[in-house]
Structure 1
Amino acid sequence: AMVSPVRPRVALAVDAAELWRAVPGVLRTPTVARRLHRLGFDDLESYLRDRYVDQRASLQAIARELSACSRETVLRALHAYQIPQREWRTPRRYRSAPAEVPPPPCGHLPDGTPYYAPLGTLEYDEDLQRVRCHLCARWMRWVNHTHLATHGWTQEEYLEAFGLSWGRALHTPELAEHRRTWMRGALATDPRLREGLAMGQERARRGQLVALSPRRPPPLETRLHVKEGQRSDATLALHRKRREAAVARQLREEQEDAAAHGFVDFPSYWRARRAAGWTLVQIGRELGRHDPWIRLAMAHVEGRAHLTPEEAEHAHTTRRRAALAAAEQRARELGFATLSDYLVERRGRGWGQKRTALELGVGFKMVRAALLLCGLEPIPVVRPSMPRSRRTG
């Protein structure tokens, strides 16, 4: 059935003040202003002309994107800015012919979907200052989630299907610069953003973000950039300069860490820890460094970045002997002649491995090894059963 548009009862404004007063109050709040600024628009009028006129977004989509207001509120704002309302048309899926004829497709995806821009790149027109959507060939400032939803796609599906980099911003460089300016201002004024950024940088420095990142093959856009960059002498010189700077920074950090632990240089620190049977994980924990940093430091000292199986076994044996010696000393401090006497007495009192490990100051597995060496069978760990109400299947 044909839906007649709602005619808002708002008089046409004459000057800027009256024009702003004619806009509904729910769209004149600071929250909406910040949201417009975050989207790359200076005022509400430019946003409405871009979304409603250029991108032909629906009133419901605009209402949701702004402040979850009603469709009639958006209509009143359009009337206040003298933006003509589009005539109601049959939904696109029921039309006999498309409103705009797209150019010939560049190709088809494996499922038969045509695309109208080269794979692995986001086509940009400097004259129009617009990027092209692969699905419909339209030029837009931002191929956002609202537009992709009209095609039945999500941003993740769009990036994967057309070979774009993960986290790729699907908007123009002008809009990207505007958002960078906004973010710099937000970082200067909001301490919570600075705290979150510092926390993320610290986790990245320690290598904790590598385990959280998804294991995905490099997209086509990244491979094209790498292939193109490998042919350039300037790119090779830049990579060489960055590599030299990274090596110099690594050596400086090694010297600082060695001095902080009372050693003249880093090789002296490294050989002392390795002679004590320390593993790479233990050294990394003491220095607060991630695994790639530790292996690169090992390459600087020993000329290799991995332990041989014999060295790993020797480190394990040395660490085990040191832990057993510490447990033996602790047992003597508690009034026992040997560690075996201590374990037999605690076993007779019904102590478990965890409580014993806590008193001795060693790990749970080390207590199990000590029990086996003393001829005692470790107490099996009985895991509590899950309540029937929480079981699935």
Structure 2
Amino acid sequence: MDPSVIAGGRTGAQDPGGRTAGPRTDHPDFGTLVRDEGADLVVCHVCGQGFRALGSHLRSHGLSADEYRTRYGLRRLRSLSSRALARRRSVRQAADFRTSAELRERLATGHAMSRSGELRRAAANRAGEPQPEELVRTRAAQLDAGRRTQSTRRARRLREALDGLGFDDLEDALRTLYVRREGDIDAVAAHLRVGRARVRALLEEYGIPLRPTGVNSAAGRRSRVGLNDAHAARRVGTHDIRQWLAERRAAGATLGDLAGETGRSIPWVAARLDGRRSASAVRAYGP
């Protein structure tokens, strides 16, 4: 730790008594609980001295623990104790909760409010109130960490898809799947295991022009047919949707039954039961 912190030079020298009203947003450690990790002490923002617990010390500055938290942007329930002391208290409180019926009864109301969502709703009702700086920073850090995690997962999933398709380069995969094979956006997205919006963004990033709306290629149409068949097959738990349809039809299922089970239309079912016939030939199969 910077020696000037303990000496009080960097922290609170402007206000040694600690009695100035309002949050000290100008304090260099505003929104952060300052610790001396080597000695496992909590450092007072006002005087820079380290303590195992700040509670009783704060009275010398005319502050309560809640006033101190508010003044220095700390979370409302932030422990002002050293890590070791906080751990011991946590263990003791957990043991007390297990062994004391009286304590469990006193805390039952709060637990019920938590389970019912009442505490969450109460917090939402305070959404317009200023939030402690520490809480703002914590939430921002958690959000950034979540985004990095999601980005890492997406990148890994895309790399696995490229490896499975035999591509070393993403641009080569896009030009092969979308341009040379004339696959549509849905097909490329399915191959690369990404969303449609992501495919569009990648095509733009690599300077690959999108086909005009309404321009369909034979490969694109075949790709959509394959995707529809694969989706229906997954829905009913088979690898061969045409064989499954034929077996169900032979067992007495109607076209309406098969359409409902596969989530497709009756013409779609009819076309796959007899690929040589037009989908409009549904009447030949009965209701």
Normalising TM by the smaller chain, what interval?
Answer: 0.3 to 0.5
Select the structure with the greater relative contact order (CA < 8 A; seq sep ≥ 6).
2
Q: TM-score, normalised by structure 1?
A: 0.31
Q: TM-score, normalised by structure 2?
A: 0.41
